Copies of this chain bind each other. A is one copy, B any other.
C-alpha cells in the first residue's frame, strides 16, 4: 500500500493564533480538522527561534549544535543528510513547494566537483528536496533573481512591472491610490495590491496541487508544502485585510517590571526598531489583525488542498517558530519566551493503530527534530540512529507510552550574530549565542558572555521575572546548567559509521582478524 506524507509548514506562526490552540476569534477550521483527525501537541518547540536554523533541524532531525547551520545565511554542510535523503533510499519523491531557507553550499559543491545545476546539485542546494518550486519569499528589488517563478506567474496573469512580488504582493494602494510598501507596518491595514487568487499563498497552493495532480500514482511521495506566511511583510489581499479588528487580537503579554534592570541581551533586542514599534499599541492593533488575516488565508488554502481528503497519508502541520507580536516588549522572534519558541504541531496519522488518539491533545515535550524520524518510520525507512537526534512521534499518535523515552526537557538555541544586538552589544559573532533548556517548571537560558536567565514557569508562567542572578535560585540554575553540558556532550557528532556496527567493534573482533595487541 502506498503511504504518502504531507508536511505543511507556516512561517512565523504562533501556536495560539489557531482556533484549535484556543484563539477565541480566529477560526481555522481546516487546521482544526487535522487536529480532530490527529494529535495536537501542546508543548512543541522549535530548535531555533529563527527560520533557517530551525528548518535545518526540521529537515535533518538534528540540533543546531550538531548540524552547525546557525544563521539564515549558513548553507547546510554537504555531509548532513536530510529528510529527502532518507526517503530517497526507500524510493520516495520528496518535493518542496514554497519556502525553505536552504541555499547552495557553493564552496563545498566546487570542492567536490558537483555541478550545482545537476539534479544532485539542485537537491543539495535545496536542503535535500527534489527541485520543484523553491523560493525564499523575501525579494526586495536589490536581490530579486531573474528567474523567480512567482514573478513569471504574476506577469502571465497580467501584472506588470519589474519585481512583481515586491510591487504587487508586498505593496498596497493607499487612500490616494498611491502605491505604498508592505515593509512599512503602518500600511498593514491596506489590502495587498495583488488579487487574492494570485497571492503568494494561493500560488503556493496551486503549485502543490499541480504536483499532486501530476504525480505518478505508483510513486510514493512526501510533499513539503511550505507557506511563507504569516511571516512579514504583514500585508494580505482583500478580503483578508479586513476580516479582523483590534478587539480580536490576543491581549498583550508584557509587564513593566520586565524593563526594570533587564538582562543585557533582552534589553538589546527590546531596543531594536521592530521591538520598539511592537511595544506600541497602535502598531499591534494595526498589524495583528492582518497577521490573523494571513493565517486565515493559509487555512482557507489548506481547505482547498484537503478537499477531497487524502487516503494513507500522514499530515504534519507546524511552523518554524513563533512571533512576539509585542509580547514581552518585543517584536520578531530570536529569543526564548514561549510566543517565540513554542510552535504549533499537529500529526494526523492515518493508521488504524492511531484511532484511539484522534482529536486528543498530547502534552509531552516534542521538538522539530522529531519530524524526520516520524516520517521515516511512517514510510517504512530505517531510523539512522547515528544521526537522527529526535524521536519518532508515532508511539504517541498510537497511544504507546514509553516512560524510558519520555523527554524531561526541551532545547532551543540561537545565534544572533546577524541581528542588530551583535552591534549594539559590541560582540564577536561567536559570542552571540544562547541556549535554552526548559523543563516542566523551569526555563534556563545560558548566554555566552552574559549571566544566565531563569524563569519559574510554575509561579511565573508568563515569564516576567528573570531569576537568573537571584542567589535564592542558584541551585536550580546550576542543575540546569549541568544538564545543558551533558546535553552538549551527547550530540551525535560521530555520524559516519552505522550505529549498530558500534557494538560489533572491539578486541574480540580485532583478535579474530589477527590483531593481537600486547599478547605475550
Contacts and interface: CB of A to CB of B under 8 A. Distances in A.
Contact of A519 (B70, B111, B273, B435): B273
Which of A77, A107, A331, A514 has the most B CB atoms < 10 Å from its CB?
Answer: A514
Nearest to A65: B493
A457 interface: no
Contacts of A283: 520
Nearest to A89: B111
Contacts of A520: 184-186, 277, 283
A186 B518 CA distance: 10
A78 interface: yes
Interface in A496-514: 496-497, 502-503, 505-508, 512-514
A391 interface: no
A418 interface: yes
Nearest to A423: B506
Given A142-B512, A429-B502, A514-B183, A74 B494 contact: yes
A422 B113 CA distance: 40
Given A79-B77, A108-B496, A518 B488 contact: no
B332 A518 contact: yes
A273 B515 CA distance: 13
Contacts of A277: 518-520
Contacts of A507: 272, 419-420, 423
A69 interface: yes
A114 interface: yes
A488 B186 CA distance: 45
| A-side interface size class | 35 or more
A112 interface: yes
A517 B232 contact: yes
A448 interface: yes
A140 B510 CA distance: 10
Given A68-B493, A112-B120, A485-B485, A516 B78 contact: no
A429 B504 CA distance: 10
A508 B143 CA distance: 15
A433 interface: yes
A301 interface: no
A116 interface: no
A502 B416 CA distance: 11
A316 to B, nearest CB: 25
Interface string A412-424: 0001011110110
A105 interface: yes
Contacts of A79: 77-79, 108
Interface string A269-292: 000111101100001000000000
A429 to B, nearest CB: 4
A495 interface: yes
Contact of A497 (B73, B448, B490): B73
Nearest to A144: B514
Interface string A83-102: 00100000000000000000
- Return the 7 tightest CB-CB contacts between A and B, nearest first: A274-B518, A140-B514, A418-B505, A68-B493, A429-B502, A79-B79, A183-B516
19 contacts: A65-B493, A68-B496, A70-B493, A70-B494, A78-B78, A112-B120, A140-B515, A142-B512, A143-B514, A183-B516, A183-B519, A274-B517, A274-B519, A275-B518, A277-B519, A331-B517, A422-B506, A481-B485, A488-B488
